[in-house]
Amino acid sequence: METIAIVDTSICGDNLGDEIIMDAVNGIVTGLFPDAYIYRVPSHESLSDRTRAFLKRSTWCFVGGTNILSSNMHRYGLWRLSKSDAEIYGQIRTTLLGAGWIDYTKPPSERTKQFLKAAFRPELLHSVRDTYTKNNLADSGIRALMTSCPTMWALTPDHCAKIPRTRARDAVITLSAWREAAASDRAYVDVLKRHYKKLYFFCQSQEDYQYFSSFGWTDIKLVPPTIKGYNQFLDDNDVDFIGTRLHGGIRALQRKRRALILSIDNRATEIAKDTGLPVVSRDDTKGIEQWIEAGTATEINLPEQAISAWKAQFRPEQRQSIPYAAPRHSFWDEGRPAKIRKNVRTASGLLLDKLT
């Protein structure tokens, strides 16, 4: 049985968008390796002894989506990657799946290049969500294919043909507290109030709700702040999505609802350049109104050849040609579990078992 490690961006996260991403990542990985055993390792936390052991027991590792890469990995990035941890990733077959670069920044630093080269085997192709990320990795000597975000792989022509063209009765909005612009957000919501009967708010993070509350809107209803609740809302209501949360919009498209993402950073902007995802600037109120009333079809240009080429390296006949360090088969290979010294008295006088 093959053992897979997934670097999961939704663990210890504060953004429900990462859960939407990981839904897609999990489906793709299990489709490629239907009989594998899967470990999950958090990206937002540095590796512990336990998670290092999980990696050392794995034959493959997939790093799933989101803004996981930056030009200064040792200082800033959602993936807590140290030099020693990068070397562990490099010992197994670690590949990116729909990863992205955070913000428009300077080229990757020399130290970042060293980390990335240590983490990824040169024999592997990596999947990235946009050309901007692909070019930054190329500067680091890493081969990547622009495959778009894995959340979009199911947005085929047949699927998109089932998305309505005309304006829905109501709309669901999102806001992004991490990049707030109160005047711009109020302006676009005022536009929506003129075009829709009711507005709803999907809270993709706790901070988004606090930001939403600061506007004092009492006529906008809340959607349950869970992926299950959001799915059910999209299925049960005649709504368009218009908002600044990229994956809130992509989930709406997945559920066959019209969606317009309002760009506030490089993510939606770069994906739109590559795929035609419906995106306009948050400040473009005229563009928002035109989209609402235009009645145009949703057309996503998926890079099918790149997706197929990335998947092809995991075919059974191809897997064994990629070298890797032999996995450890037990935690005992790491010297764990630790020996136990019992009956240690705490400051309060309570007797506890203690690991040594």
What six digits make up the tokens of 190? 């005022």
Instruction: Collect all residues with Cβ–Cβ distance below 8 Å to 280 and sequence separation of at least 6.
Output: 260, 262, 263, 287, 288, 291
CA separation for the pair 325, 267 (Å, rounded): 35
Give me the tens of pLDDT residue by residue for the chain, a chain 356 residues long: 889 999 999 988 889 999 999 999 999 999 999 999 999 999 888 889 999 999 999 999 999 878 889 998 877 667 888 888 999 999 889 999 999 998 888 999 999 999 999 999 888 999 999 999 999 999 989 999 999 999 999 999 999 999 999 999 999 999 999 999 999 999 999 999 999 999 999 999 999 999 999 999 999 999 999 999 999 999 999 999 999 999 999 999 999 999 999 999 999 999 999 999 999 999 999 999 999 999 899 999 999 999 999 999 999 888 777 767 666 666 555 555 544 445 555 555 554 444 44
Look at residue 332 in the predicted model and tell me its pLDDT. Answer: 52
Structure tokens of 1? 């049985």
Asked if residue 47 and residue 141 are part of one domain, the reply reads yes
Same domain, 136 and 169: no
pLDDT, position 79: 85
Specify whether 145 is located in the same domain as 7. Answer: yes
11 and 138, same domain (yes or no): yes
Tell me whether residue 232 is in a domain. Answer: yes
Count of domains forming the chain:
2
Q: Which of 189, 242, 243 is nearest to 216 (CA)?
A: 189
Angle at alpha carbon of residue 266, lines to 264 and 269, rounded to 5°: 80
pLDDT at 109: 92
pLDDT at 331: 57
Measured CA distances, 354 to 199, 334, 351 (Å) = 55, 19, 9
Domain check: are 9 and 141 in the same one?
Answer: yes
* Same domain assignment for residues 173 and 285: yes
The answer as to whether 339 is a domain residue is: no
The verdict on residue 340 lying in a domain is no
Query: Model pTM?
Result: 0.89
The reply to whether 313 and 234 lie within a common domain is no
In a domain, 284, yes or no: yes
Asked if residue 285 and residue 166 are part of one domain, the reply reads yes
Instruction: Pick the last residue of a domain from 275, 294, 313.
Output: 294
What pLDDT is attached to residue 355? 45
User: Helix 182-195 vs helix 285-294: angle between axes, to the nearest 10 degrees?
Assistant: 30
| Residue 19: inside a domain | yes
258: helix, coil or strand? coil
Which of 294, 323, 351 represents a domain boundary (last residue)? 294
Q: Is residue 94 assigned to a domain? A: yes
Tell which residue, 133, 99, 49, has the closest CA to residue 334: 49
Q: Which of 200, 211, 209 is nearest to 252 (CA)?
A: 200
Q: What is the dihedral of CA 169, 261, 275, 34, to 10 degrees?
A: -90
| Residue 215 near residue 186 (C-beta atoms within 8 A) | yes
Residues 214 and 235 in one domain: yes
Distances in Å between the Cα of 121 and the Cα atoms of 110, 144, 188, 287, 312 are 18, 12, 46, 44, 16
CATH, residue 227 = 3.40.50.2000
- Structural domain contains residue 129: yes
The whole-number pLDDT of residue 16 equals: 95
Residues 281 and 321 in one domain: no
Question: Burial code of 133-149, b = ≥16 C-beta within 10 A, e = fewer?
Answer: bbebbeebebebbbbbb
CATH of the domain at 126: 3.40.50
Q: Tell me, what's the pLDDT at 136?
A: 93
Is residue 95, in this structure, part of any structural domain at all?
yes
Q: Structural domain of residue 102, as residue ranges?
A: 3-149+304-334
Residues 82 and 204 placed together within one structural domain of the fold: no
Q: Are residues 101 and 170 in the same domain?
A: no
